[in-house]
Amino acid sequence: NAGVTQTPKFQVLKTGQSMTLQCAQDMNHEYMSWYRQDPGMGLRLIHYSVGAGITDQGEVPNGYNVSRSTTEDFPLRLLSAAPSQTSVYFCASSRRVGSNNEQFFGPGTRLTVL
């Protein structure tokens, strides 16, 4: 199993540009989520999904869109990038039953917005 994969690893955008961060998992996990990591603030939840077709907002959803058309994929879209979105983004997945909410993380995408 590849686990949770994320692409790209690094990205530089200009203010106002849009892009999609890709996330995929091959563990058949029902739950998937996106976090951003900023210095001194830990990881904060952006959006999450409890299954295909179902998404919900986390703590910091503004400026980001998600959709979940398949169990495997959970892309994160930046509609109009802003310097405040410079961060490291992590995708994670977990099973609905029997996992005690343990999440598996991807390697991250480091995004810089100029």
- Between 4 and 78, name the residue whose CB sits nearer to other proteins: 4
* Contact flag: residue 107 with other proteins (CB under 8 A): yes
* Contact flag: residue 40 with other proteins (CB under 8 A): yes
First-residue to last-residue Cα distance in the chain: 36
Q: Which residues contact 48 (CB under 8 A, 6 or more apart)?
A: 31, 32, 33, 34, 55, 56, 58
DSSP-based three-state secondary structure for 80 = coil
* Contact flag: residue 71 with other proteins (CB under 8 A): no
Please give the size of the binding site for other proteins, defined by CB under 8 A: 28
The one-letter amino acid code at 12 reads V
CB-CB contact of 74 with 68 (8 Å): yes
* Contact flag: residue 55 with other proteins (CB under 8 A): no
Site stretch for other proteins (CB under 8 A), options 13-21, 38-46, 67-75, 78-86: 38-46
Tokens of 106: 């991807």
Q: Give contact residues for other proteins (rule: CB under 8 A).
A: 30-33, 35, 40-45, 48-50, 58, 90, 92, 94, 96, 100-108
